[in-house]
Amino acid sequence: MHATKGEKVFQGINYGLLAVVSLICLFPMIHIIALSFSHSAYVAANMVTFWPVKPHILNYKFIFEHTSMVTNMMMSIQRVLVGTAVNIFLVLITAYPLSYDGTELKGRNTLMWILVVPMFLHAGLIPNYILISRLGLMDSLWALILPGAVTIWNIIMMQNFFRSMPRELHEAALIDGAGHLTVLFRILVPLNLAAIATLSLFCAVNHWNAWFDGMIYIRHPQKMPVQTALRSLMKVTAHIVGQERFYTPEELAMLSDRSLTCAKIAFTTLPILVIYPFVQRFFVKGVIIGAVKG
C-alpha cells in the first residue's frame, strides 16, 4: 500500500498524540512516586516532576515503623486470597448445574431469575449494615468476603462457557459412571482454565481495591484492608506530630506530610504496579470474550 504525504503526516501526529495520551495516564503515578522519595524542601518548593530530588527512603521507613500499613497490607493479601478462592469456588459449583437445560435441571428458569434479581435490586446500606452487625461479623474478614461471595455476573459468564462445550464430553463421562463433580473438576475446569484464570484476576483486583466495605464494617484500625487504611490515614493532616523523637533534625527536615501521604499511596499501589504488566493481557482477553459472547 502506498502512503500519501498526508497520510504520513497524520501517522506522525497520531503516534505523537498517543504517546502524550499514554504519558497522561502514567504521569500522575510517577509524580506521586517521585514526591514520595524526595526531600521535603523540594516537595514544598514544587521542584519535583518525574524524578525524586535529593532522594531518601525515610517516608517508607516511617510507614513501616509508625503506621499499621504493613499489617493492613497483610489483611488485604489475606482478603484477596480467601475472597478470590471463595468467589471462584462458588462460580464453578453454581455455574455447572446451571449449564444444564431445564429438562435435566428442573426449575432452571426460576433459579436463573433468583440469581439475576439481586444484581439489580439492592437492599441499600442500612439493612446490610444492620445484618452484618447482627451476624456478629463486624471487624471480621468475613464481613468483606461473604456479602459479595456470589459473583452473579461471573456465574452467568461461566455457565455460558460450560454450555459452549461439546455435550458428548459430559455424557460419555457420566455414562462411564463418573459423577458430576468429577465431570466438573476433571473435565470442564481443565478445559476452561484460561477463562477461570481471567475471572480470578478480576475477583482479585476487586478485592484488592475494595475499601468502602472495610470503612463501614471494620472499626479496628489494625484489621482494615490497606485501601481503607489509606483512606483513613489521608484524613489525618499531621502525621509526623508525636513521632519527632524517633528522628534526627536532619531527618525531620527531609520528611513532610505531603510526601508521606504520597509514600502511602505508592505503597498501597505497589502490588498492582508490579503484577499488572504481566497479567494485563488476560484482563483484555476476558473483556473481549465477555463482550463478544452472545
Q: How far is the CB of 216 from another protein (least distance, A)?
A: 7
C-beta closer to another protein: residue 22 or 164: 22
Q: How far is the CB of 174 from another protein (least distance, A)?
A: 7
Q: How far is the CB of 106 from another protein (least distance, A)?
A: 9
C-beta closer to another protein: residue 61 or 258: 258
d(CA 134, CA 251): 48
C-beta closer to another protein: residue 23 or 81: 23
Q: How far is the CB of 125 from another protein (least distance, A)?
A: 5
C-beta closer to another protein: residue 58 or 155: 155
Give the per-residue SS3 of the chain. CCCCHHHHHHHHHHHHHHHHHHHHHHHHHHHHHHHHHCCHHHHHCCCCCCCCCCCCCHHHHHHHHHCCHHHHHHHHHHHHHHHHHHHHHHHHHHHHHHCCCCCCCCCHHHHHHHHHHHHHCCCCHHHHHHHHHHCCCCCCCHHHHCCCCCCHHHHHHHHHHHHCCCHHHHHHHHHCCCCHHHHHHHHHHHHCHHHHHHHHHHHHHHHHHCCHHHHHHCCCHHHCCHHHHHHHHHCCCCCCCCCHHHCCHHHHHHCCHHHHHHHHHHHHHHHHHHHHHHHHHHHHHHHHHHHHCC
Q: How far is the CB of 223 from another protein (least distance, A)?
A: 17
C-beta closer to another protein: residue 249 or 294: 294
Q: How far is the CB of 214 from another protein (least distance, A)?
A: 10
C-beta closer to another protein: residue 58 or 183: 183
Closest residue by Cα to residue 89 from 7, 203, 9: 203
Q: How far is the CB of 253 from another protein (least distance, A)?
A: 18
